[in-house]
Amino acid sequence: TKVVVLLSGSGSNLQAIIDQVTQGNLKCEIACVISNKADAFGLERAKQAGIPTQVVDHKAFDSRESFDAHLQTQIDVYNPHLVVLAGFMRILTAGFTEHYLGKMLNIHPSLLPKFQGLHTHKRAIEANETFAGVTVHFVTAELDGGPNIIQAKVAIETGETEESLAKKVLKKEHIIYPMAIDWFLNGRLKMNNNQTVLDDKVL
Ligand code: GRF
pLDDT digits 0-9 by tens, 132-144: 999 999 999 999 9
Q: Is 108 a catalytic residue?
A: yes
For residues 61 and 2, state if they share a domain: yes
Tell me, in angstroms, the distance from the centre of ligand 1 to residue 110's CA: 11
Domain shared by 1 and 38, yes or no: yes
pLDDT classification of 164: cutoffs 50, 70, 90? very high
Whether residue 145 lies inside any domain: the answer is no
Pairing of strands 195-198, 201-202: antiparallel
Which residues are CB-neighbours of 161 under 8 A, at least 6 positions away? Answer: 125
User: How confident is the model over 40-82, as pLDDT tens digits?
Assistant: 999 999 999 999 999 999 999 999 999 999 999 999 999 999 9
- Do 127 and 57 sit in the same domain of this protein? no
Is the same domain home to 3 and 94? yes
All residues at 6 or more sequence positions from 182 whose CB lies less than 8 Å from its CB, including other chains: 20, 25, 26, 27
Tell whether 67 and 131 lie within a shared domain.
Answer: no
ipTM over 0.90: yes
Same structural domain, 54 and 92: yes
Indicate if 113 and 82 belong to the same structural domain: no
- Residue 144 lies inside a defined structural domain of this protein: no
For ligand 1, atom 6, the nearest C-alpha belongs to 87
Instruction: List the CATH number of the domain containing 192.
Output: 3.40.50.170
Residues near 84 by beta carbon (within 8 Å), at least 6 away in sequence: 3, 4, 5, 6, 17, 104, 105, 177, 181
Distance 45 CA to ligand 1 centre (A): 14
In a shared domain, residues 18 and 85? yes
User: Which of 17, 30, 90, 107 to mutate for ligand 1's pocket (most ligand atoms within 8 Å of CB)?
Assistant: 107
Domain encompassing residue 59? 1-100
Shared-domain flag, residues 87 and 170: no
Is residue 114 in a domain?
A: yes
**pTM of the predicted protein model:** 0.97
How many structural domains comprise the chain?
Answer: 2
Same domain? For 118 and 202 the reply is: yes
- Give the residues surrounding ligand 1 with Cβ less than 6 Å away: 7, 9-13, 42, 86-87, 107-109, 134, 173
